[in-house]
Amino acid sequence: MSVANRLYEELHQPEYTGENRCTPCTVTNLLITAVVTAGLAVVQPIAAAAFALLGVAAIALRGYLVPGTPTLTKRYFPPWLLSLFGKEPAGVTDAPAYEGDVDPETYLLENDIITETHSGEDLELVDGFWATWSAAIEDAKNNTEREVGELLELDDPKVNPGGEIEPAEAGGCTVYDGDVRVANWPSEAALIADLGAIDALATHGVDVDAMDRADAGQLLAGLRVFAEQCPDCGGGMALGEDTVESCCSVAEVFTYDCEDCGTRVMEIQAA
């Protein structure tokens, strides 16, 4: 094996390139390379050229330039950013693709629901919000059908009623009005997180009921990745990636799962 080949083997990271290449990561890294190159060019044209070459080579071989960008943060790869790449949250409801104008990150920041972390690299709930939200989640656990019935204005709300009618996907949560399927959540935990969030947001001056249905859905799904504990078991939550297979397709998804019980609170298509 030649030196060049060995170097290629050494540096090449198939998990982030080829089929596995993440478009948002690649675009973000190319943009970062361009900005740094432009900055360097002003003071050090030769260093700038070298940096541009190395940067593009690293992105081509390794899939990224900035170490850690494949590590997901709520700041850089939340649904509202992915939507810029034409991606829509999957598995939230069967509602048509979101075309509203609420940008959850901006909206939640402006309404003091989330804030930057100390490092400025990520986002988190403001102090006290999780306490209010988690208490509301406990309430929603005991009144799930009544609360979702009020939210969706259903006459005969049923959550995963079983029997003849099965949830759309394993682990998913399907809400019926009588025997008519009306909405899906990735899990019952996601549903109770949303029901609790509506009450918690109300105490912080955000009236979800008054919002357009699609806007409300986008806002609640965006907020869900800030849940600090599993709505089901109280376990720790983590962002991750997964491959989801359905009858006719395989999709890469970004996920927000409980590290203890595995409940999926959020899932969004990555490619």
Binding region for Zn ion (CB under 5 A) = 230, 232-233, 235, 258, 260-261, 263
Q: Which is nearer to Zn ion, 38 or 261 (CB)?
A: 261
Distance in angstroms (rounded) separating the CA atoms of residues 34 and 32: 5
Q: Which is nearer to Zn ion, 136 or 208 (CB)?
A: 136
Q: Amino acid letter at 149?
A: G
SS3 245: strand
Q: Which is nearer to Zn ion, 161 or 235 (CB)?
A: 235
Q: Which is nearer to Zn ion, 108 or 258 (CB)?
A: 258
C-beta of 102: minimal distance to Zn ion in Å? 28
Q: Which is nearer to Zn ion, 135 or 261 (CB)?
A: 261
Distance in angstroms (rounded) separating the CA atoms of residues 123 and 66: 19
C-beta of 185: minimal distance to Zn ion in Å? 15
C-beta of 256: minimal distance to Zn ion in Å? 11
C-beta of 258: minimal distance to Zn ion in Å? 3
- Burial of residue 252, with CB atoms counted within 10 A of its CB: 0-12 exposed, 13-18 middle, 19 or more buried: middle
What are the C-alpha distances in Å from 115 to residues 62, 73, 123, 201? 32, 14, 6, 15
Does residue 255 contact residue 241 with C-beta atoms inside 8 Å? yes
SS3 170: coil
C-beta of 187: minimal distance to Zn ion in Å? 10
